[in-house]
Amino acid sequence: MNRQLENKRALVTGGSRGIGAAIVRRLAREGVHVAFTYVSRPDKAEETVQAAQASGVKALAIKADSADAGAMVAAVEKTVKDLGGIDILVNNAGIGVFAPIDDYRLEDFDRTMAVNVRAVFVATQAAVKYMRDGGRVINICSCNAERVPFPGAAVYAMSKAALVGLVKGLARDLGPRGITINNVNPGPVDTDLNPADSDFAKILMPFMALPRYAEGDEIASLVAYLAGPESAFVTGASFTIDGGFVA
């Protein structure tokens, strides 16, 4: 690591495991002091804290439900207080409830939108108040914002497609301050919630150009680029990293 992000301060939502934990670890290796939110599995949160601290940075786990707007604002404020500021926000927390429209519950619709869309807006609104010029906002979106080749994913896809419009608009709002905002759109990633050896993976694999799932570290590498100085002219964009899922 060239540690171009040495001593930056970051908040990663949903950072205790999976893609989020990979992002926390990668930012830590780049020299970033990092806070992250989690909802359950405090044991996983502590593992991620220790992994980040092993890179010689400060690390902080904050229990906060992304569906709770007040908790999102409080997480940003605790990050600023404990780390001395915030330079990078990674909106990673997300949920997916899959069901055909005839069976889709309104409460699942509302929670999906609260976590996948409203929380991104709330955390971003709170964070940019504290960011210096040149800050970074990165949303973990999904390739399903562009392609949905199986039934039951309409609401999830809609929630992720909303982020495409959000970053285009906020790029205009934040551009005068040199703050960039972009989406990372992963395809299937090997995590404990979506393992590469699951029955669901057997459904997805035929859609791939590269016949495998991604590793979390591969997604984290793109996040690290967008968080760094070399991406200063990149904003309002969505970057697909999906093994050819939407090709």
Give the per-residue pLDDT at 3.
Answer: 79
Return the CATH number at 130: 3.40.50.720
Rounded to the nearest integer, the mean pLDDT of the chain is 96
The model's pTM is 0.96
Residue 142, domain member (yes or no): yes
Residue 13, domain member (yes or no): yes
Rounded to whole angstroms, how far apart are CA atoms 155 and 76? 27
For residue 152, which amino acid is it? G
Residue 247, domain member (yes or no): no
Residue 126, domain member (yes or no): yes
CB atoms near residue 132 (< 10 Å):
11
pLDDT in tens, 162-180: 999 999 999 999 999 999 9
Residue 79, domain member (yes or no): yes
Total domains in the chain come to 1
Rounded to the nearest 10 degrees, how much is the dihedral formed by the CA atoms of 209, 212, 216, 221? -40
Residue 1, domain member (yes or no): no
Residue 246, domain member (yes or no): no
Give the per-residue pLDDT at 1.
Answer: 62
Q: Which domain holds residue 171?
A: 9-241
What is the DSSP code (8-state) at residue 131? P
pLDDT at residue 75 above 70?
yes
Give percent of the chain with pLDDT exceeding 70. 99
Q: Which residues are catalytic?
A: 156
Residue 3, domain member (yes or no): no
pLDDT in tens, 98-151: 999 999 999 999 999 999 999 999 999 999 999 999 999 999 999 999 999 999
Cβ atoms 25, 47 nearer than 8 A: no
